[in-house]
Structure 1
Amino acid sequence: MSYEHRTVVHMTLTHETANHSEHELVVVSGASTGIGAATARQLASMGFHVLAGVRTSRDADAIRAGGIEPIMLDITISQHIDDLAARIAADPEKRPLRALINNAGIEVNLPVEVLPLDLWRSQFEVNLFGHVAVIQALLPILRKSRGRIVNISSVGGEVALPNYGAYAGTKFAFEAASDALRREVSAQGIQVVVVQVGGVKTVMADRSGPLSLELAEKMSPEHTRLYGDLISSAVASQTAFLTRALSAEKAAIKIAKVATTARPRPRYTLGMDAAWVIPLNRILPTRVMDRVLSPNR
């Protein structure tokens, strides 16, 4: 049995969940495409009423279905978050909030020296501060329902690959915030779980490589000399891996189980690369991991 499979073994729905999920709400941010959309559909198929966060009317029309109610939710816009909290509080059926799945994210990859600061900031705004804002707004509701927070992190939350410094930085920070939050609210009956996602076939993953190459074309000749091969190597590795990566639908099945199992662990890994890179990082000395992950090895 692989490490990945061990991370989700024995996670089955309780009898209570099976009978009462139709009377509970789940929020999924970043539900326009990829893991978020697949997770919304999976939870709806299990009987939950899913408030699926999207950013455009077109995305809302695409995700709308039985058990899925699209909600306009850009997590960097406070009014959207306030509207979400108000929608839950005023639910006509007075359904409790079973889980908040913080999935929204963006990924822009270039070496630390050359990634523009505005792109550093935009990633932190979405991948960290936006999630914190949603959590702060919904914690009073989750306290009443004794609900669960599932934070979708990344293998990059523990292992920072070359070219992924900014994205990994957001995930390192999100994991630290998740640990602190878990210890702060456990006595209140709220569970906080982190899912460290590896390579999954999504629109965001498909776009990140070409975006890196597009941004690299704007680098100075000196930066191109220093980092051009590294960027090309990183994009080629990502592209090759995605051909055999986990599908969004399979990822969603596992995330839905994490969100609903009776006694979740604090962390789960998801995907082949997360299943071996994270344990390896915990065992090997830092300089050995540097050699393993160096594009020049």
Structure 2
Amino acid sequence: MLRPWKDPQKEARNDPPKNPRKVNELVVVSGASTGIGAATAQALAARGYHVLAGVRTESEADAVRADGIEPVTLDITVPEHIEALARRIADDPERRLLRVLVNNAGIEINAPVEVLPLALWREQFEVNLFGHIAVVQKLLPLLRRSRGRIVNISSVGGVAALPVFGAYAGTKFALEAASDSLRREVSAHGVQVVVVQPGGVRTEMAARSGDISLELAAGMSAEHQRLYGGLINATVASNTAFLKRAVPAAKAGARIARVATTPRPRTRYTLGTDAAFVIPLARHLPARLMDGILAMSHRSRNPKPAPAPESAGSPS
């Protein structure tokens, strides 16, 4: 049974000690320049691990570099970066084993299925799914040596596909399925696979996603504006309002660090009250009832579309 996210202050027994003992093991966190990834890297370093934090630029590296956090250049869609990461771990000067891989990197570009260009569909799948699979394929031999753990950061969107989120949710649904198969394939090898399903978390990516949606909407045809303009505006407004009370990235990172290091993890964890509420609904309610609930939640901010214009040959 899924359990809701809990405030870290109420789980003090699981918090790292004030002066943690150095752990002679490595952890990889992709997408660690900001948001959940950066917070997770910091929380794992606070527990004494040496974190290889995936970033894409020198400025990002300078921002995350800290005691216990070593930035590494890692765009997970670039095979050479993944190869270099594997060599860095295999050739570690202290011969430390890789204990945990946190697959966190991701992008979010939201628009209606009909409107979102195929190139942007493919870009999201390259980052949110295929890039993670490429990292897993390369690092699994190292994780077998340590009998380590893979933590895949999914989303509430991996269970409940909201309108306008079709491409992003598609990548997360696929990651959920791949995680299940992977867990069943490698459990006999001593490798654990855990999925974390965040709801709303206050991050730069989440804040940017609304602006990106509005920019895409501004470039839509007049017909698509008529069909989808109200829905997009309502969705962005709803998400923007929710993010003001969403889980801070630091608390999300602390939660993921506990999931990554707890001795006997569950297969899935929700993160945030919205995920703990929406995911069981999506799994147990009939699809048509869920459709109705989502439609009602947008109705107040989603005006009815204007009637279609008459064609030139229509009778008056």
Q: Distance in 1 between matches of 2:162 and 2:56?
A: 30
Deviation at 1:4, TM superposition (A): 2.5
Check the 8 A contact 2:4/2:275 in 1, yes or no. no
2:175 aligns to what?
A: 174
Partner in structure 2 of residue 273 of structure 1 = 274
Superposition deviation, residue 22 in structure 1: 2.1
Q: Does the Cα contact within 8 Å between 1:14 and 1:261 map onto a contact in 2?
A: no
Q: Which amino acid aligns with 1:54?
A: V
Number of the residue aligned with 1:192: 193
Where do 1:2-151 residues align within 5 Å? 3-5=4-6, 12=14, 22-151=23-152
Residue 14 of structure 1, CA deviation: 10
Give the letter for the 2:220 counterpart: M
Deviations 1:173-207 (A, max 9, x none): 00000000000000000000000010000000000
How far apart in 1 are the matches of 2:64 and 2:176?
Answer: 29
Query: 1:145-194 CA distances to partner (integer Å, 9 max, x unpaired)?
Result: 10100000000000000000000000000000000000000000000000
Q: TM-score, normalised by structure 2?
A: 0.89
Which is higher, the Rg of structure 1 or of structure 2? 2
Distance 1:78 1:268 in 2: 30
For 2:262, the equivalent position in structure 1 comes to: 261
Q: Pairwise CA RMSD of aligned residues?
A: 1.9
Distance 1:60 1:235 in 2: 31
Deviation at 1:3, TM superposition (A): 2.8
* Partner in structure 1 of residue 309 of structure 2: none
* Contact 2:64/2:71 (<8 A) preserved: yes
Q: Is the 8 A contact 1:199 1:241 kept in 2?
A: yes
Distance in 2, Cα, partners of 1:206 & 1:30: 16
Taking the aligned partners of 1:80 and 1:266, their CA distance within structure 2 comes to 29
- Tell me which residue corresponds to 1:164: 165
Note if contact 2:16-2:47 (Cα within 8 Å) is conserved in structure 1.
no
Say whether the 8 Å CA contact 2:106–2:127 is kept in structure 1. yes
- Secondary structure of the equivalent of 2:40? helix
Which amino acid letter does the alignment assign opposite residue 62 of structure 1? Answer: A
Partners of 2:287 and 2:65 in 1: how far apart? 46
Equivalent pairs, count: 293
CA distance in 1, matches of 2:109, 2:56: 19
- Tell whether the 8 Å contact from 2:108 to 2:205 is kept in structure 1 after alignment: yes
1:101 Cα offset (Å): 0.1
What letter corresponds to residue 23 of structure 2 in structure 1?
Answer: E
Alignment of 1:235-254 (within 5 A): 235-254=236-255
CA distance in 2 between counterparts of 1:283 and 1:10 reads 33
Residue pair 2:159, 2:283 contacting (<8 A) in 1 also: no
Whole-Å separation in 2 of the counterparts to 1:200 and 1:273: 10
Tell me, yes or no, if the aligned pair for 2:155 and 2:198 is still in contact at 8 Å: yes
Output the TM-score relative to the length of structure 1: 0.95
SS in 2 for 1:204: helix
Contact 1:151 1:193 survives alignment (8 Å): yes
After superposing on structure 2, the runs of 4+ consecutive aligned residues of structure 1 that deviate more than 3 Å are: 6-15
After superposition, the C-alpha distances for 1:57-111 in whole angstroms (9 at most, x for unaligned) are: 0000000010000000000000000000000000000001110000000000000
- For structure 1, list consecutive stretches of 5 or more residues without a partner in the other structure: none
Three-state SS of the structure 2 residue aligned to 1:109 is coil
3-state SS of the aligned residue for 1:195?
Answer: strand
In 2, Cα distance between equivalents of 1:9 and 1:41 = 18
The answer to whether the Cα contact below 8 Å between 1:109 and 1:165 also exists between their aligned partners in 2 is yes
Output the CA distance in 2 between the equivalents of 1:281 and 1:120.
23
1:293 is displaced (CA, Å) by 1.1
Amino acid at match of 1:215: L
Conserved? CA contact 2:270–2:276, under 8 Å: yes
Aligned-pair identity in percent equals 67
